[in-house]
Amino acid sequence: MNSITLYILLIASLAAFACAIPGTFLVLRGVSLMSDAISHAILPGIVLMFFLVHQLDSPLLIFGAALAGVATVVCTEMIIYTRCLRKDAAIGIVFPLFFSVGVILISQFARNVHLDTDMVLLGELAFAPFNCVIVDGVNYGPIALWLMGVIVVLNLSFVFLFYKELKLITFDYEYARVIGYRPLAVYYGLMFIASITTVGAFDAVGAIVVVALMITPAATARLVSARLLPVLIMSCLTGVVSALSGYAFAQWADVSIAGAIAFMSGLLFSIAFLLDRTLPYGLK
């Protein structure tokens, strides 16, 4: 195994691990499609930040993208709050609008830059190891690896610090509000974490596979357990297994790594689903 393969495996595993953490809470809370919305809506954030800094590999782009992700959540929640539309409808209107704004901005002002919708939607893991952090001529490894590492630490510390609060707003939002836990603040914190994770991971695996890594491992884990901590751990493990087996499958069949990771996560869910259906007492 050469260092390129090792880097790809590490980046993919870290991305899967990072996605599974907010993904679990999104799935349990019943708002998993917010990850779909965020992953599309970050496009205008990236483009606008690019106009400010004129650099494609600046960390500020990620900050801009995360802000756009949070803006999507805020807009969606505002529409739901008016009671004029339900959650799904609000999501389905807001993220295409953000995406459209991004596409138009690119087509108007950034024609000559390597910044296109393909890149955001599909991603390419195979190129990630070649974009390295080089300080004073010393190579410190791929940017994507550092980025995903930081995001994993961030996600883990967020869950560690706010575990009680997250648990409460996930299962009994109203109770959390009544006893003064500020559930909205925790919810937006979670969404900010989800945005940052989406942004960090989309560069490597593409926006739509991020959705697969957020939702599918958590759903698989949910079939196995009904307790929060086991679901959280199982979901991280399942995510990493999907990433590793997806890479192996992609190498074997010579296909897109990102696609194979999504496929593997689906396959793991199918296996869990079939076991749950056929075993006499289910998986739990």
Residues in contact with another protein by the rule CB under 8 A: 27, 30-33, 35-36, 40, 79, 82, 84-86, 88-89, 91-93, 95-97, 99-101, 103-104, 107-108, 111, 117-118, 121-122, 206, 208-209, 211-212, 214-216, 218-219, 222-223, 226, 250, 253-256, 258-263, 265-266, 269, 273, 276-277
d(CA 235, CA 214): 9
Our CB check for another protein shows the closer of 155 and 265 to be: 265
Instruction: Tell me the closest approach of the beta carbon of residue 211 to another protein, in angstroms.
Output: 4
What burial class does residue 121 get, using C-beta atoms within 10 Å of its C-beta: 0-12 exposed, 13-18 middle, 19+ buried? middle
Our CB check for another protein shows the closer of 143 and 247 to be: 247
Instruction: Tell me the closest approach of the beta carbon of residue 250 to another protein, in angstroms.
Output: 8
Instruction: Tell me the closest approach of the beta carbon of residue 230 to another protein, in angstroms.
Output: 14
Our CB check for another protein shows the closer of 63 and 273 to be: 273
Instruction: Tell me the closest approach of the beta carbon of residue 170 to another protein, in angstroms.
Output: 12
Our CB check for another protein shows the closer of 143 and 218 to be: 218
Our CB check for another protein shows the closer of 50 and 99 to be: 99
